[in-house]
Amino acid sequence: MHEFMVAPEPDDPALTRAVTGIDHMGARVTSRVPVERPLTVFLNSQEIVTMMTIGDRPECLAVGYLLNQGMLLAEDAIEAVEHDDVLELVVVRTARKTDYEEKLRRRTLTSGCAQGTAFGNMMERFEGVVLDRAAELRTSWLYALSRKINTRPSLYLAAGAIHGCVLCEADRPLVYMEDVGRHNAIDKIAGWMHLNGAGPEGKLFYTTGRLTSEMVIKCVQMRIPILVSRSGFTAWGVELARQAGLTLVGRAKGRRFLCLAGEDRLRFDARPDEAVSEGRERLGARDED
């Protein structure tokens, strides 16, 4: 696979809006800010959720959300994914008849930004996943990915208030998705993988957001054994990663990182002083959780 087969499109005029204000010197300025819009997801005839999103790749977001919530099964035959931009909805149609009223009643809010949700049986599916023990993470890959991802033109760099998630293989970023919530960005990648028949073998996951329980659970459900972030951890995220045998690396910025779970997969094949300083290359990127 080639690098950045899917990448952010920061110049898409539909994703940002120009807003005027005053800066720290009292000067009148114009700033680009991301646009949020609602997207309602249907599974066959059942309305599932309305989420706030930047609006790009709605089909991937809908399919990935349903997969990560266990409503769409890996073996389900998807007959159609229909997006109506005017009505702001996506309908995913399957050959299997579905009915999720009871599961919807058990919905609970999570710590994710915007519209993060988790369902009552999420942990049951999480506990049944076995991750690849032979997978590895070389420090040379970690340094290269940090540089490539954080210097790639993106909405995150251009406007802020955005999270990014990247599907990677060794030192190559493959699919880079962005949204107002990290849970939306990871769902977009899950949907892309499902719709394109891409498996988790040899893959690792990078995110700009915090390593929370929800991010760990979704990564494990996608059967990706390594999760890396430039942000920090939550205690439950670390606990769940250790339980699942997931390698969890956070605070990965330039030469530094911290691994709090699955450290046996690390291979120290490059010295920190060999890494390019991310601070010189990130062109004013923002530090946001």
Q: What is the pLDDT along the chain (289 residues), one digit of tens a residue?
A: 789 999 999 999 999 999 999 999 999 999 999 999 999 999 999 999 999 999 999 999 999 999 998 899 999 999 999 999 999 999 999 999 988 766 665 554 443 444 444 445 567 778 889 999 999 999 999 999 999 999 999 999 999 999 999 999 999 999 999 999 999 999 999 999 999 999 999 999 999 999 999 999 999 999 999 999 999 999 999 999 999 999 999 999 888 999 999 999 999 999 887 676 555 444 334 444 4
The two structure tokens encoding residue 81? 């994914």
The two beta strands, 89-94 and 37-43, are: parallel
Architecture of domain 37-123: Roll (3.10)
Rg (CA), the chain: 19
Alpha helices in 180-289 (DSSP H): 182-195, 213-221, 235-244, 278-281
**265 SS3 class:** helix
CB neighbour list of residue 181: distance below 8 Å, 6 or more residues apart: 51, 52, 53, 112, 113, 114, 115, 116, 163
Q: How far apart are CA 190 and CA 202, in angstroms?
A: 15
Prediction pTM value? 0.89
Phi, psi of 237 (to 5 degrees): -60, -45
Q: How far apart are CA 82 and CA 39, in angstroms?
A: 12
Question: Are 118 and 214 contacting, i.e. CB atoms less than 8 angstroms apart?
Answer: yes
Specify the amino acid at residue 84: D
In 3-state terms the chain splits into helix, strand, coil percentages (rounded to 5) of: 30, 30, 40
Fold of 137-281: Cytidine Deaminase; domain 2 (3.40.140)
Q: How far apart are CA 89 and CA 46, in angstroms?
A: 12
Number of neighbouring beta carbons within 10 Å of residue 58: 22
List, by residue range, all CATH 3.40.140.10 domains of the chain: 137-281
Q: How far apart are CA 17 and CA 129, in angstroms?
A: 42
The two structure tokens encoding residue 179? 């949204």
